[in-house]
Structure 1
């Protein structure tokens, strides 16, 4: 009998310990201004199959909710006649978030029309919520290699998407002008360092130019670990094209970026260097499939698409060379830095590193 009571007491203590851990995780998430929704995603983000047993997530499934125009509700945002110090804090969950979004690009869209649709975006592509004080500061880095229509469509869709989340954000387009192959890794490194010289960003999203988010509950803020965000792309039937896929969109805090030493500079687009997050002692987070949904633009050639897994030999090469091949060997010439109405354009000349 005493032995049975001791066993029951042990189980009770274990149960209470788990409860305290969950409460602590919730308080931490809530302290960071993400609220209960983010906490719930945090619990299940690596286990999409468990969503079926959660009534809340069953209710927010994209198939069961209407889709919204990405510009809906934004006309309600107006500057307040208050100093920055007197602005109220933004709420933990933005009132402008609706859920699933329609991807609707007008025919014959011009950049002037995109500017007109986004009057609160400042020169250089930065935006601050005009009616509240936000604690989230996100830079979006877009490697670019002449996909003009893709960029125009991304800006048309991404600006209102980010404004709905009440973020302070800035968009940086890193434009490669030399005739060598498209080097996404080096362009990401350039974008990171140039962006960090402008602002003390606490989060950096590295974003392919041909992906448009389909749900504004996919928050563009960073967590305690790196996050691969584009987990459900329509072209791949809203699932990962292969195990270990890290393409599309993912987020790093500056400390994460420094820890992984940036992105491989000697691995070009056909070599698909991107497994680094598993090599630096940090787990990789992913949003739930209900939230991390994207539409892929397909018109015209796009050198940024990654659809096939890297070979085992290449994976071994990346693991062997990942430390010295990132920011340690970053070399580029910044030809110009232009503050466009919707983004900061970084025109760079990069030279391919010679594998050795």
Structure 2
């Protein structure tokens, strides 16, 4: 930590140097206390030679667990002090200072472009109440729907990031703010599709159906592949390419709350990239899982049953931080296990090729994403909890 502080501070005046060492040490000790046992315990931060921690006095800090307000106030005051030091620049992940102009032609592969940072700063995940308008104002170069493509070369991949969404606006805004500069540095032609269950209220969630509906919408955008991206998954390294893979690629294989371990071969949850052709052959996600859980493992079984190899990134560059959230109770676990036992047998008839399982009721084209509202039909009685 002291070595990293030295790298950042060596160009400052002696007076600023003393204050910065004290300030960074205070922030480090406070954050260490509240994240040592959390999902962010092994998170890496990017080299201070390339950027500084993103600090903004207008955005309150939010630690993922209950915490001491007095010590949080100390951390907040320290970060405010850093904002007021003239030589410290707020390091928003913007296009303005990060992209090298390329000579034209085809863009380099996303894992070999010149502007990658490597390890990404994770302190920004503590920022709360970030508004979509804030992100839009930082990225006026985006077209409606969050579309962007490089102007200095031709992108090799045209990608749609599909984000299943329910009740996590703070996570969604932070994810968009985090991913946009990563995708720009990788020189991708990208857009975002947020898919939400229409008028769900307190009803059970069907993640498979809203993702199949989003894929059908992505087909109208003429993309090469889709990346299904949970709203609480944040990459720790931008050398994990968000490009179109030759086969299904489980990008979110090594996650903080799972100890960065791959627990079983079928796992494909979190972040999954797949070409349009492969998704059709796999027949998309199952439409049969309600509430939370099952559809991702079912997808893994589908992929393997069709003799695909599930590609995964390097364990060092393929790490993700998962934001803490209130976990919903798994409904009807026995039904889930029964469906998983015969997952391979249902590939041909349960999935993307079914009709009448979903209807896109509304499409809102927002500055940062396409927002789909999907009617998934009524919940079968066997999935509802029986009240005594």
- TM-score in terms of structure 1 length: 0.72
- SS of equivalent to 2:228: strand
1:334 is matched with 360
1:193 is matched with 216
Q: Give the CA deviation at 1:177.
A: 2.2
2:39 is matched with none
Q: Give the CA deviation at 1:304.
A: 11
Q: How many residues align?
A: 288
The residue correspondences of 1:39-54 to structure 2 (distance < 5 A) are none
Change (3 A) 1:281 1:343: same
Residue 292 in structure 1 maps to residue 318 in structure 2: yes
- SS of equivalent to 2:220: helix
The residue correspondences of 1:237-256 to structure 2 (distance < 5 A) are 237-256=259-278
Q: 2:152 aligns with which of 120, 131, 146?
A: 131
User: Could you tell me how far apart the structure 2 residues matched to 1:149 and 1:138 are?
Assistant: 24
Q: Give the CA deviation at 1:243.
A: 4.5
Which moved further from structure 2: 313-322 or 142-151?
Answer: 313-322
Q: Give the CA deviation at 1:192.
A: 0.6
1:112-168 deviations in Å (ceiling 9; x for gaps): 111122221111111111222112111111111221111111111111111111100
The residue correspondences of 1:303-314 to structure 2 (distance < 5 A) are 313-314=338-339
Q: 2:113 aligns with which of 94, 102, 107?
A: 94
- SS of equivalent to 1:162: helix
User: Could you tell me how far apart the structure 1 residues matched to 2:133 and 2:374 are?
Assistant: 25
Contact 1:78 1:131 in 2 (8 A): no
Q: Give the CA deviation at 1:336.
A: 1.3
Contact 2:253 2:313 in 1 (8 A): yes
The residue correspondences of 1:222-233 to structure 2 (distance < 5 A) are 222-233=244-255
Which moved further from structure 2: 225-234 or 238-247?
Answer: 238-247
User: Could you tell me how far apart the structure 2 residues matched to 1:287 and 1:206 are?
Assistant: 16
Contact 1:118 1:160 in 2 (8 A): no
Change (3 A) 1:303 1:345: farther
The residue correspondences of 1:71-82 to structure 2 (distance < 5 A) are 71-72=92-93, 74-76=95-97
Which moved further from structure 2: 314-323 or 135-144?
Answer: 314-323
1:315 is matched with 340
Unaligned runs of 5+ in 1: 1-61, 81-85
Residue 343 in structure 1 maps to residue 324 in structure 2: no
Which moved further from structure 2: 122-131 or 313-322?
Answer: 313-322
The residue correspondences of 1:118-267 to structure 2 (distance < 5 A) are 118-179=139-200, 180-198=203-221, 200-267=222-289
Q: 1:66 aligns with which of 47, 56, 71?
A: 47
- SS of equivalent to 1:173: strand
1:34 is matched with none
User: Could you tell me how far apart the structure 2 residues matched to 1:314 and 1:127 are?
Assistant: 40
Q: Give the CA deviation at 1:98.
A: 1.5
- SS of equivalent to 1:320: helix
The residue correspondences of 1:9-24 to structure 2 (distance < 5 A) are none
User: Could you tell me how far apart the structure 2 residues matched to 1:318 and 1:174 are?
Assistant: 24
User: Could you tell me how far apart the structure 1 residues matched to 2:173 and 2:232 are?
Assistant: 10
- SS of equivalent to 1:204: strand
- SS of equivalent to 1:74: coil
Residue 281 in structure 1 maps to residue 307 in structure 2: yes
2:15 is matched with none
User: Could you tell me how far apart the structure 2 residues matched to 1:123 and 1:304 are?
Assistant: 36
Unaligned runs of 5+ in 2: 1-42, 54-90, 383-388
Q: What's the RMSD between the two structures over aligned residues? A: 3.1
- SS of equivalent to 2:106: coil
1:59-103 deviations in Å (ceiling 9; x for gaps): xxx9697375684573136899xxxxx953323322221211012
Q: 1:325 aligns with which of 350, 357, 364?
A: 350
